[in-house]
Amino acid sequence: MSASALLIRGGRVIDPASGLDRLADVAIDDGVVREIGPGLTALPASRVIDAQGCLVTPGLIDPHVHLREPGNERAETIATGTAAAVAGGFTTVCCMPNTQPALDNDTMVHFVLSRAEKTGLCRVFPVCAVSKARHGVELAEMQLMARAGAVGFSDDGDCVASAGLMRRALAAIKATGKAMMQHCQEASMTGGAVMHAGVVSTRLDLGGWPREAEELIIERDVRLNRGIGCAYHVQHMSSAGSVEIVRRARAEGQPVTAEVTPHHLLLTDQEIERSGFDTHFKMNPPLREAGDIAALKKGVADGTITVLGTDHAPHAPETKQVPFDTASFGIVGLETAVALYALALVEDGVIDWPRLIAMMTIEPSRLCRLEAMGLGMLRAGGPADVTIIDPSERWTIRPANLAGQSRNTPFIGREVKGRVVGTIVAGKLVMSRR
Ligand SMILES: [Zn+2]
């Protein structure tokens, strides 16, 4: 909205990358952070933003978002998805390749980048397909896509099922310097599965999705990768056993990272029964049990899980307002992420705000190789991507708070604490609640 100079005054400035955590002002001009320090004077014509009581952080980065363009613009577009992003404090989102057609070649990379340039409110970087058309048969052209701007590779929505293809993918992706991001699902175990395999699925007589379907793929991939050493990232981890596998791999020095979503930290399979089969509780991977949540939190606390991602998955109403069996998987997450992570991780004493911010800024920046662009950090001379969070503001999640095209979230009506009040992308205040 405004490209003029900004002065963010009096906030608690947190930059996990440099360890900065102090009360200070942040002066921004011409898209760049000019100075961080106490008592700065506003440039003439500067807009002054009062950030007292707020956290002033590097712009948040979501490494796992579905923007649905091209192919399913009824659910979301780059324009509406980035509106959701900045409403939630994200200045960078990495979009998954399961569009129609898939993001599996350099032309598609150019398409996403140019649409984002024209219609986006924040930075958008594509995570591109591992296999052509995401069919899991033939490797896509990693080098071409990496050169065009792909920031990572995944067949997300589907797992790279073939071990042979996976081995070649790890070698090819390693040569690009990017990360392989796996949607871990052994599909031979999840046919007809619509929820976690456990007591509840048995009682409800719904197809069960066992934890092992996730764990086996991680085990396999870590083993395949041992002699290759590609950066390997577990997307949307849901199972206690998975945490243990990643913990062990990291202890061995394997280049393995993992991410967790808000819903897998806050909801269990019991919600499906309690809500009378509300399809907003249908996720891939599925919501599991309290023991899994405890293990995921422990994984966050001890640094096994280092990245937070929303897996923002917009769906048009007609694909959710159907019987549970046939409904789409997934929920939107960009607008509600900060409050829900604060609820799951900070209020519960798992981690503090600076670590939460690290897991939403510098950690995903490292994963997606965005450090060289200065993203995920806040420092003088760097790009002015800044998020302002009021950690004590209470609010209720309502459809009107959701800026994206789709409203599919089970958190409607939930009272939460912690709200993004300002989002600045490249020096422009693109969202302000003050
Ligand atoms: Zn996925």
Q: Kindly state whether residues 394 and 351 are assigned to the same domain.
A: no
Choose one of 354, 373, 392: the last residue of a domain. Answer: 373
Query: DSSP assignment, residue 343?
Result: I
For residue 2, the model assigns a pLDDT of 45
311 a catalytic residue:
yes
What would the two tokens of residue 88 be? 């939630």
pLDDT in tens, 4-30: 799 999 999 999 999 999 999 999 999
pLDDT in tens, 158-217: 999 999 999 999 999 999 999 999 999 999 999 999 999 999 999 999 999 999 999 999
Distance 199 CA to ligand 1 centre (A): 24
138 pLDDT higher than 90: yes
Instruction: Supply the CATH number for residue 66's domain.
Output: 3.20.20.140
For residue 4, the model assigns a pLDDT of 76
Residue with tokens 């981890």: 237
For residue 98, the model assigns a pLDDT of 96
Choose one of 356, 373, 390: the last residue of a domain. Answer: 373
- Interior/surface letters 5-21, b for 16+ CB within 10 angstroms, e for the rest: bbbbbbbbbbbbbeeeb
Q: Kindly state whether residues 46 and 179 are assigned to the same domain.
A: no
* Helix axis angle, 212-225 to 163-176, nearest 10°: 60
Give the C-alpha separation, 418 to 395, whole Å: 8
What would the two tokens of residue 352 be? 């503090």
Query: Residue type for 241, please?
Result: G
Q: Kindly state whether residues 174 and 273 are assigned to the same domain.
A: yes
Distance 300 CA to ligand 1 centre (A): 19
Choose one of 324, 352, 373: the last residue of a domain. Answer: 373
Query: DSSP strand E in 211-276: where?
Result: 231-234, 256-260
The verdict on residue 282 lying in a domain is yes
For residue 1, the model assigns a pLDDT of 41
Give the C-alpha separation, 115 to 305, whole Å: 32
3 pLDDT higher than 70: no
Q: Domains in the chain: how many in total?
A: 2
Query: DSSP assignment, residue 135?
Result: -
The verdict on residue 102 lying in a domain is yes
For residue 87, the model assigns a pLDDT of 98
What would the two tokens of residue 349 be? 């004493």
Task: Provide the pairing of β-strand 55-58 with 386-396.
Answer: antiparallel
Q: Are residues 217 and 184 in contact, defined by beta-carbon separation less than 8 angstroms?
A: yes
Instruction: Supply the CATH number for residue 31's domain.
Output: 2.30.40.10
Give the C-alpha separation, 377 to 371, whole Å: 8
Cis amide linkage into residue 210, ω under 30° from 0:
no
Q: Kindly state whether residues 364 and 389 are assigned to the same domain.
A: no
Q: Kindly state whether residues 337 and 399 are assigned to the same domain.
A: no
The verdict on residue 1 lying in a domain is no
pLDDT in tens, 215-272: 999 999 999 999 999 999 999 999 999 999 999 999 999 999 999 999 999 999 999 9
Task: Determine if the pTM surpasses 0.95.
Answer: yes
Q: Are residues 128 and 103 in contact, defined by beta-carbon separation less than 8 angstroms?
A: yes
Distance 381 CA to ligand 1 centre (A): 36
Q: Kindly state whether residues 112 and 29 are assigned to the same domain.
A: no
Q: Kindly state whether residues 403 and 364 are assigned to the same domain.
A: no
Give the C-alpha separation, 296 to 239, whole Å: 7
352-356-359 Cα angle (round to 5) = 145
Distance 30 CA to ligand 1 centre (A): 37
Distance 242 CA to ligand 1 centre (A): 15
296 pLDDT higher than 60: yes
Average pLDDT, the chain: 96
The verdict on residue 281 lying in a domain is yes
For residue 168, the model assigns a pLDDT of 98
φ and ψ of 348, to 5 deg: -85, 0
Q: Kindly state whether residues 296 and 226 are assigned to the same domain.
A: yes
DSSP sequence for 376-431: T---TTSB--EEEEEEEEEEE--GGG--SS----TTTT-EEEEEEEEEEETTEEEE
The verdict on residue 277 lying in a domain is yes
Distance 78 CA to ligand 1 centre (A): 19
The verdict on residue 67 lying in a domain is yes
Identified catalytic residue from 25, 104, 269, 311:
311
The verdict on residue 126 lying in a domain is yes
For residue 42, the model assigns a pLDDT of 84
Nearest partner of 427 among 10, 34, 20, 112, judged by Cα? 34
Q: Kindly state whether residues 146 and 169 are assigned to the same domain.
A: yes
Q: Kindly state whether residues 86 and 49 are assigned to the same domain.
A: no
pLDDT band at 59 (very low <50, low <70, confident <90, very high): very high
Distance 13 CA to ligand 1 centre (A): 33
For residue 238, the model assigns a pLDDT of 98
C-alpha torsion angle, residues 388, 391, 397, 399 (rounded to 10): -10
Distance 274 CA to ligand 1 centre (A): 25
Q: Kindly state whether residues 169 and 298 are assigned to the same domain.
A: yes
For residue 45, the model assigns a pLDDT of 80
The verdict on residue 341 lying in a domain is yes
Q: What percent of the chain has pLDDT over 70?
A: 99
For residue 88, the model assigns a pLDDT of 98
Q: Kindly state whether residues 212 and 112 are assigned to the same domain.
A: yes
Domain range for residue 415?
A: 6-55+382-432
